[in-house]
Chain A
Amino acid sequence: MNIENTKAQMRKGVLEYCILSVLSNGDAYASDIISKLKKVQLIVVEGTLYPLLNRLKNDGMLSYRWEESLQGPPRKYYKLTSEGEKFLNELHKVWKELVENVAQMNNQFNK
């Protein structure tokens, strides 16, 4: 059993949730999202994010607009759609339950 593998699996599961969560605090472009996720060590490389953002966009959770940048090319600013917000609320509930249940279970065994 590879610990790195398991860790990656776990991270992956919450990654979508975290992206939506980041965006719920305000519109952001890819690098913003990445720096936030990097801080909490959810992703290692940026490349991971692009396919994910793309899929979320295609599923109607996100939309984006182009914004000029002072330096470099124009940036894609992502925004949560109303559908995305509903989805995020669902995920919040699921996450809460999950964390509680796992904690509860761990406590039971620890006792």
Chain B
Amino acid sequence: MKKTLTVNLWGQVFNIDEDAFEKLQKYLSSLENKFSKTPEGKEIIGDVEARIAEIFKERLAISRQVVTLDDVYFAIGIIGLPEDFDIADDGSKEDKDESKKTEKSRRLYRNPDDRILGGVGGGLAAYFGIDPTVVRLLLVITFFFSGPLIYIVLWLIVPEAKTTAQKLEMRGEPVNLSNIEKNIKDEFSKVKDNLKSKNTKKNIKDATHHLGEILVSIIHVFFHAFTIILGFAFLILGLVFLFSIFVGVFFDGASTISVTSLFETFIESNLLTPVTIGLCLFIGIPIILLIITGIRFIFGIHHSFKLLRKTLGFSFLIGLILVIFVVISQSLNYKTNNQMKENIKLDSLKNKTLIINVTNNLKNKFNNNELECNSYIFNCSQDSCVLYGKTQITIQKTDDSLPSISIVKFCRTKSKKEGSYFLKQIPSTVIITDSVVSLSEYFTIHQNNKFRFQKETVTFNLPVNTNVIINGTEENDENIYFEGNYSYSEIKGKNCVMSEEGIVITNSSL
């Protein structure tokens, strides 16, 4: 059993054995190599093709349907090998003798098979029989002299070795059928294209076209260099991202803020797995793509990795869906507002001076392992991270006869029921002993309690003429509010009194 191909020879359709096809193809390409130099070459080849078709028709008419290798040999026997054609050419015998003598002589062509820009380097290398890298190195060395100019001039004037025969000449190998055969292999269609374009081009057009080609090539090389640089940038960026995520997730302790603790604080336990997978896909896949793109740019890989791209795209979509799902279900946990208000009358104060002591209750205040956002602070020690809320302290004037403290706790939850639970979990920070009210700057949102926008405000309602001293830390600037024209740092630790215009410093303290 043999595989056959269908070919169109001069408008005639033939079924042809595969081996016969290859032989025929080689034969025709060798003819094309011979005649492509002459303008009428195409017509001659057309004549030959027509004749071959005729011979095949005659032979097939007997009994067979498929053109075999024998038929091809028969046709070649009748028509003759390209060398045998020479008898009809002008002075061809002399030429042939001469070419035999000068078999080793080479011609300078630009080498299209070994090129970076115009193939001048490859051509020169083939001409002198040296490694093209040496030529290129020379060009680089002479870059600041006249190397590039010589290169461009050579590019313009040296023809490109388009046909196999020219390529053989370039390397100084004799142009004969066996060599051509050796070189052609399956270049049939390529040669045919060359032949076509060569015949249709006009000379002037050719020259401008050539110049254009040079410009395009130069741009191409710059573009190529640019893509390589871009590729490296992508690769490095991708690897840095990947590395930092790897460190962040798997070596939690290495970063100042524990990512795991952050997640545990802000996201429900049952959503932790989906959000982890989702985020890994959502962030990881673009990074992987970045790295792959980088590698493709650097090595000039044009393969499109369809399956890989589909898989990555699909995974990315899954990640996106997971993240959206988590965001939606998480945000449902914040739909109900809850508030709890507690009023404490300061009966014991009488005419004594009220002393407000604000203390900083953070364990690791100065180790910098904290993340602050609005009135929340994420404070990390070596083994755990705890979220704190900032207590908001307000001192205001009241028309009541007695001073009082009102403590308001707030949170947002899924339901009222959940709300009351979370409200209870907000610790009371106010301790009243006689005329001294101690309160902490921060309240703990315990690690086992999820984040629910917990807020705590402590409001001092003071009648006019109440004496007060506020003791606090430097940072209380942000969370202590009071009526009056003074700033916190001005009144801190000083004897003050509540007046009609708010807090004022009493003279006795001066």
Shortest beta-carbon distance from A4 to chain B in Å: 10
Q: Which residues from B are CB-within-8-Å of A5?
A: 93
Q: Which of B54-92 contact A (CB under 8 A)?
A: 54, 57-58, 61, 77-82, 84-85, 87-89
Please state if B43 and A72 are interface contacts (CB–CB under 8 Å): no
With A45-B79, A45-B80, A72-B54 as known contacts, state yes or no: A9 contacts B93, CB within 8 Å.
Answer: yes
Q: Which residues from B are CB-within-8-Å of A54?
A: 40, 43-44, 47
Q: Which residues from A are CB-within-8-Å of B79?
A: 45-47
Shortest beta-carbon distance from A42 to chain B in Å: 10
Q: B-facing mask of A26-62, CB < 8 A → 1, else 0?
A: 0000110000000000011111111111110010000
Please state if A46 and B51 are interface contacts (CB–CB under 8 Å): yes
Q: Which of B328-380 contact A (CB under 8 A)?
A: none
Shortest beta-carbon distance from A64 to chain B in Å: 10
B325 interface residue, CB < 8 Å from A?
A: no
A8 interface residue, CB < 8 Å from B?
A: yes
Please state if A15 and B84 are interface contacts (CB–CB under 8 Å): no
Contact of A76 among B47, B78, B80, B85 (CB under 8 A): B47
Please state if A47 and B84 are interface contacts (CB–CB under 8 Å): yes
Shortest beta-carbon distance from A14 to chain B in Å: 12
Please state if A72 and B58 are interface contacts (CB–CB under 8 Å): yes
B10 interface residue, CB < 8 Å from A?
A: yes
Q: Which residues from B are CB-within-8-Å of A58?
A: 40
Closest to B50 in A: A73
Interface residue total, chain B, C-beta cutoff 8 A: 29
Q: A-facing mask of B138-170, CB < 8 A → 1, else 0?
A: 000000000000000000000000000000000
Contact of A11 among B11, B43, B77, B87 (CB under 8 A): B87
Closest to B49 in A: A73
B48 interface residue, CB < 8 Å from A?
A: yes
Q: Which residues from A are CB-within-8-Å of B61?
A: 71
Complex Cα–Cα for A50 and B42 (A): 11
Please state if A51 and B58 are interface contacts (CB–CB under 8 Å): no
Please state if B11 and A73 are interface contacts (CB–CB under 8 Å): yes
B415 interface residue, CB < 8 Å from A?
A: no
Q: Which residues from A are CB-within-8-Å of B44?
A: 50-51, 54
Complex Cα–Cα for A51 and B37 (A): 13
Complex Cα–Cα for A55 and B89 (A): 10
Please state if A72 and B93 are interface contacts (CB–CB under 8 Å): no
Please state if B57 and A8 are interface contacts (CB–CB under 8 Å): no
A92 interface residue, CB < 8 Å from B?
A: no
Q: Which residues from A are CB-within-8-Å of B40?
A: 51, 54-55, 58
Residues of chain B having any CB pair with chain A under 8 Å: 9-12, 35, 40, 43-44, 47-48, 50-51, 53-54, 57-58, 61, 77-82, 84-85, 87-89, 93
11 contacts between A and B (CB under 8 A): A43-B87, A45-B78, A47-B79, A47-B82, A48-B87, A54-B44, A58-B40, A71-B57, A72-B53, A72-B54, A76-B47
Closest 4 CB pairs of A and B: A45-B80, A47-B80, A72-B57, A72-B54
Known: A47-B48, A54-B44. 17 other contacts (CB 8 A): A5-B93, A11-B87, A12-B88, A45-B78, A45-B80, A45-B84, A45-B85, A46-B78, A46-B80, A48-B85, A50-B44, A51-B89, A55-B40, A72-B12, A72-B54, A73-B54, A75-B50
